[in-house]
Amino acid sequence: MRPPIPPFTAEAAALKVRAAEDGWNSRDPERVAGAYTPDCLWRNRASFVRGRAEIVTFLTAKWTRELDYRLIKELWATAGDRIAVRFAYEWHDDSGNWFRSYGNENWEFDTDGLMKRRIASINDLPIAAADRKFFWPLGRRPDDHPGLSDLGL
CATH number at residue 91: 3.10.450.50
Of the pLDDT bands very low, low, confident and very high (cuts 50, 70, 90), residue 63 is very high
Domain count, the chain: 1
> What's the average model confidence in pLDDT over 89-116?
98
Domain membership of residue 106 (yes or no) is yes
pLDDT digits (tens, 9 = 90+) for 3-44: 999 999 999 999 999 999 999 999 999 999 999 999 999 999
For residue 128, what pLDDT is reported? Answer: 98
DSSP letter for each residue of 54-89: HHHHHHHHHHHHSEEEEEEEEEEEEETTEEEEEEEE
Sign of CA dihedral 32, 36, 41, 42: negative
Q: Across the chain, which distance is largest between two alpha carbons, in Å?
A: 45
Global pTM?
Answer: 0.97
User: What is the β-pairing status of strands 47-50 and 36-44?
Assistant: antiparallel
For residue 148, what pLDDT is reported? Answer: 98
Of the pLDDT bands very low, low, confident and very high (cuts 50, 70, 90), residue 45 is very high
Chain mean pLDDT for the chain: 98
Domain membership of residue 137 (yes or no) is no
Q: Domain range holding 92? A: 10-131
Domain membership of residue 145 (yes or no) is no
Query: Backbone phi, then psi, for 53, in 5-degree steps?
Result: -60, -40
Instruction: Please calculate the CA angle 31-144-141 and round it to the nearest 5 degrees.
Output: 20
Domain membership of residue 138 (yes or no) is no
Domain membership of residue 149 (yes or no) is no
Domain membership of residue 4 (yes or no) is no
Separation between Cα atoms, residue 104 and residue 126, nearest integer Å: 18
For residue 105, what pLDDT is reported? Answer: 98
